Amino acid sequence: MAYRILTINPGSTSTKVGCFEGEKELFTVNVSHDAAKLKEFQTISDQLPYRTETILTALKEAGIDLSTVDAFVGRGGGLLAVEGGTYRVNDVLLDHAVRGANGVQHPAQLGSQIANGFAKQYGKPAFVVNPPDTDELTLCARITGVKGVYRNVHLHALNLKETAIRHSQKNGWKYEDKNYIVCHIGGGISISAHRKGKMIDGNDIVGGEGPMAPTRCGSIPAVEMIRYCFDHADDKKGVESLCTKGGGFVSHLGTSDAIEVTKRAEAGDAYAALVWDTMVYQIIRWIGAMAGVLHGEVDGILLGGGMVHNKGLVAAITDACSWIAPVTAYPGEFELEAMAAGAIRVLEGAEEAKEYTGKPRWTPAEIGG
């Protein structure tokens, strides 16, 4: 039996929706939402009725009958740190999604809420798969050089893990038997180390850590950043925005468009070329760091995300890193497919659905700090 799954992935001004039957994609659409209308809502969760209505309209126009769907899967934003896997949407998970228990207000919070609404209406289960707060770090990866300051990882966990799973399946392997360095290179950049099915290290993209990205500053020497803030920043929000929205390409070149940056570089803009090369250099450096975390035992370096369509980027990384392990490019993303696949694994009995308890995967007290 091929299970039919509806997947919901809300973004800033649109929601990606897909319907899958087994691995077969039946329908996908990027439902646009009126930006002015979204601004009328005080919180992210207040957008729920409006987004649901526009999604239902798009599904009706496409002839998708929700009564034929076996499970609904939403993006799992707003949660506390959890182990990777497929989680059944329960009351605690919904409460945390509604209020953004992790302190990050993001449209992904609406994914589980929309999925749960459809699931209740049609008497089917609702899930989230490898939510953004998936955290499988080792203790050494979590502790910093300042007591009381810890690394909280935020990565493109859904796409990173699905890329590794698909690469394993393509080669007749099990994800749980292999070690990978998996990169998502797009509007944000995630570089992660996967050891036997666990994502044991990576950069905190929400915190601005890692390589420079189109809108993110990347890792910066702490003292230099402190000096810059005292000299230039007006308030805390301004500093946070610089790290996560106004850094990277935006800070240097006034644009977050990677295609524009490469065109400017090709047209002879030396500074645009330098900024692009610096981003690639930093990606390579982080890949090398993850190789060290895995003790050099790496079965593959996997590249995903929108910028991986750039052949020059892939060639530069391959040239610098193929001595570590074979480099394989998977341009774009598998987020909708990953959400469907996670639900199908549970429905088929290949994986057991996890229960979200509302308790973070770790606390400072457990570390002893």
User: Do 325 and 343 have their domain in common?
Assistant: no
For residue 309, what are the CA distances in angstroms to 154, 313, 362?
Answer: 24, 8, 37
pLDDT recorded at residue 87: 98
User: Do 291 and 213 have their domain in common?
Assistant: yes
Burial class (CB in 10 A: 0-12, 13-18, 19+), 68: exposed
| 1 band by pLDDT with thresholds 50, 70 and 90 | confident
Kindly report, residue by residue over 104-142, the tens digit of the pLDDT.
888 999 999 999 999 999 999 999 999 989 999 999 999
User: Do 251 and 354 have their domain in common?
Assistant: no
Helix (H, G, I), strand (E, B) or coil at 249: helix
The yes-or-no verdict on residue 187 having pLDDT over 80 is yes
Could you tell me if residue 14 is inside a domain? yes
State which residues form the domain around 129.
4-135+336-367
User: Do 184 and 296 have their domain in common?
Assistant: yes
pLDDT recorded at residue 327: 98
> Mean pLDDT throughout 357-363?
90
The yes-or-no verdict on residue 103 having pLDDT over 90 is no
The yes-or-no verdict on residue 369 having pLDDT over 70 is no
User: Do 321 and 362 have their domain in common?
Assistant: no
The pTM score is 0.92
User: Do 248 and 198 have their domain in common?
Assistant: yes
Could you tell me if residue 75 is inside a domain? yes
Could you tell me if residue 248 is inside a domain? yes
Could you tell me if residue 144 is inside a domain? no
In percent, the amount of the chain with pLDDT more than 90 equals 82
User: Do 169 and 298 have their domain in common?
Assistant: yes
Beta-carbon count within 10 A of 259 CB: 12
pLDDT recorded at residue 5: 98
Could you tell me if residue 185 is inside a domain? yes
Nearest alpha carbon to residue 207 among 198, 220, 194: 220
The yes-or-no verdict on residue 365 having pLDDT over 90 is no
User: Do 181 and 257 have their domain in common?
Assistant: yes
Q: Are 100 and 368 in contact (CB under 8 A)?
A: no
User: Do 214 and 283 have their domain in common?
Assistant: yes
In percent, the amount of the chain with pLDDT more than 70 equals 99
| Cα atoms in the Cβ-side hemisphere of radius 13 Å centred on 353 | 18
Could you tell me if residue 81 is inside a domain? yes
Could you tell me if residue 41 is inside a domain? yes
Q: Using CA atoms, how far apart are residues 195 and 204, in angstroms rounded to an integer?
A: 18
Nearest alpha carbon to residue 7 among 91, 64, 84: 64
Nearest alpha carbon to residue 140 among 192, 200, 222, 190: 200
The yes-or-no verdict on residue 92 having pLDDT over 70 is yes
Could you tell me if residue 229 is inside a domain? yes
> Mean pLDDT throughout 66-92?
96
Kindly report, residue by residue over 139-178, the tens digit of the pLDDT.
999 999 998 889 888 899 999 999 999 999 999 999 999 9
Q: Which of 10-14, 262-266, 356-360 has the lowest mean pLDDT?
A: 10-14
CATH code of the domain covering residue 255 = 3.30.420.40
> Mean pLDDT throughout 242-267?
93
User: Do 327 and 352 have their domain in common?
Assistant: no
Nearest alpha carbon to residue 343 among 57, 55, 70: 70
Task: Give the total number of structural domains in the chain.
Answer: 2
* Summary mean pLDDT of the chain: 94
pLDDT recorded at residue 232: 75
pLDDT recorded at residue 233: 67
User: Do 174 and 271 have their domain in common?
Assistant: yes
User: Do 362 and 311 have their domain in common?
Assistant: no
pLDDT recorded at residue 222: 87
